Structure 1
Amino acid sequence: MAKGQKILFLGVYGMEVVECGGALAKNVLNGGESFASIMLCRETSQPQVRNAAEVLGVKDIKFLNFQYGTVDLSVESKKKIVKIIREVKPDIIITQDPEHSFHDLDPDRRPAMTLLLEAIALSSRDFALDELPGLEPHPIPTIYYMTPHHPNTVVDITEVWEKKERAMDMLDSQLEFSGMHFDEMLDPKAAEILYPGFSKLTNFQEKGRAIHQVLDKAVHVYHGLATHGHFALAEAYRREGNFHLQELIV
């Protein structure tokens, strides 16, 4: 990643800002600016997600307040996202992976993916210029898809790992929800293998955080050191399109 980039993360759910938080924080560390926009985030959870974004050094995060189960391809929906893109004028956009979105059974992921890609395309055209005064078309940035099924890029996040973990600590509602899920689905013996002492944790938030710590490290080590990689901890991405190089690089 080049120094001093302007990165815009276009997320569907709040926790995603932490899932790609390593790249966002690394960009800030290298002198760049990172921004975020979330489509679906309950009002009660927004302060937690904002706190997580601040830990990562995100300059500004906006909540678009789409409603669950109603994400569509209306002109008004497109304008919400086009407005963000034209305001930030990013060099890079990070967003959800199209392939992943079709397999994920979280609601709204599939229409959200089409909406996001349409808005990215429209932001570079003469779309809604009268309705968005002062916001000129912005060329389509380089796009990276987060948590892809078939990554072609990994980012070394070892230097910002602790920031990413602190950001996850901010997401109380998500951790409580995850704790309820893990407590129900995991066999007690399996839970103890993953996190020794799991049965002694006293609330769902602690249980959620415990398993997320295990999952986070496992995923990032897998994409880093475990796959003959150069980095101890890495976030995986898939770049849209070819890499355009003046010459081959190491």
Structure 2
Amino acid sequence: MSHRMLFLGVYGMEMVECGGALALNAEAGGRSFASIMLAKSQMQTELQAAAQVLGVEKVYFNEFERGDIDLRREYKLALVRVIRETKPDIIITQDPEHSYEDLDPDRRPAMLLLLEAIALAGRDYGLEEMPELEPHPVATVYYMSPQTPNCTISLASVWEKKERAMDCLSAQMTFSGHHFSERLSVQEQQAIHPQFAELTPTQRGREVQRAMDRALYLHSGLGSHSRFALAEPYRRQGLMELERLIP
């Protein structure tokens, strides 16, 4: 069954981290969208390329102020507008539990802003600023990269797409390459890739990301005694509502 699916992210790479769900929805005839708060200009271009790979129909860039995410009306209205325009059946966003301990800046206030916008989108909020858009309540929310997942999806059919989408993010990979070159000892670097020192910063970042992705998705799949080899983990908000028990 196809759905309208919206990803609400902070920096950008999260869109690709949820690329399995977005791509599977698009392949099933659904419409996938994404909204990113803080992507810089180069990252925006690269995310557009990644979106094409994943079948994401449109990416909204909010261009909020880095280091100063808060609950100002301007930010809430921007996210409410995205939700009302895309009319999603499903929203994917960052996990509240995980965001509290994440040391990336803006994660914690962003979580409050995201949840508030999701709630306000279905109320009579901001109607004077967007009279052409009716309130849109969102029934189902999934949290990405949760500490306590309660569901997974198989990546087997879209793994190549997810990898190609991550290849598009050279700015993020370059940043990660410099970061891990400083953080990891030579021995640890070689454990990731035997020729780590000979790689460019972009290649270093990509190899580390590739290793982390495979470890996470294998753990969520085979490592958790799943029938899935590689699995993207999520935590669904609220109870699972099933018409009948599923195997």
Q: TM-score range by the shorter chain?
A: over 0.9
1:243 aligns with 2:240: yes
1:61-108 per-residue CA deviation (whole Å, 9 max, x = no partner) reads 010000101111011111000000000000000000001110001111
1:143 aligns with 2:141: yes
Secondary structure class of the residue paired with 2:99? helix
Question: What does residue range 25-36 of structure 1 map to in structure 2 within 5 Å?
Answer: 25-36=23-34
Q: 2:90: which partner in 1?
A: 92
How much has 1:199 moved relative to structure 2? 2.2
1:217 aligns with 2:214: yes
Question: What does residue range 42-191 of structure 1 map to in structure 2 within 5 Å?
Answer: 42-191=40-189
CA distance in 1, matches of 2:194, 2:42: 32
Secondary structure class of the residue paired with 1:159? coil
CA distance in 1, matches of 2:105, 2:151: 27
CA distance in 2, matches of 1:86, 1:211: 37
Which residue identity does 1:230 align to in structure 2?
Answer: R
CA distance in 2, matches of 1:154, 1:195: 29
Secondary structure class of the residue paired with 2:208? helix
Secondary structure class of the residue paired with 2:194? coil
1:106-132 per-residue CA deviation (whole Å, 9 max, x = no partner) reads 111111100110110011111111211
How much has 1:141 moved relative to structure 2? 2.9
Structure 1 portions without partners, runs of 5+? none
Q: 2:17: which partner in 1?
A: 19
Q: 2:228: which partner in 1?
A: 231
1:134-164 per-residue CA deviation (whole Å, 9 max, x = no partner) reads 1101122300000011100101111100111
Which residue identity does 1:144 align to in structure 2?
Answer: Y
8 Å CA contact retained: 1:195, 1:214: no
TM-score by length of 1: 0.97
CA distance in 2, matches of 1:43, 1:192: 33
Secondary structure class of the residue paired with 2:91? strand
Which residue identity does 1:59 align to in structure 2?
Answer: E
Greater CA drift, 56-65 or 132-141? 132-141
Which residue identity does 1:166 align to in structure 2?
Answer: R
TM-score by length of 2: 0.98
8 Å CA contact retained: 1:221, 1:232: yes
CA distance in 1, matches of 2:243, 2:192: 46
Aligned-pair identity in percent equals 54
How much has 1:246 moved relative to structure 2? 2.0
How much has 1:44 moved relative to structure 2? 2.5
- Size of the aligned set, in residue pairs, is 247
CA distance in 2, matches of 1:159, 1:192: 31
Which residue identity does 1:91 align to in structure 2?
Answer: D
How much has 1:193 moved relative to structure 2? 1.8
Secondary structure class of the residue paired with 1:44? helix
How much has 1:50 moved relative to structure 2? 1.1
Structure 2 portions without partners, runs of 5+? none
Show structure 1 runs of 4+ deviating over 3 A: none
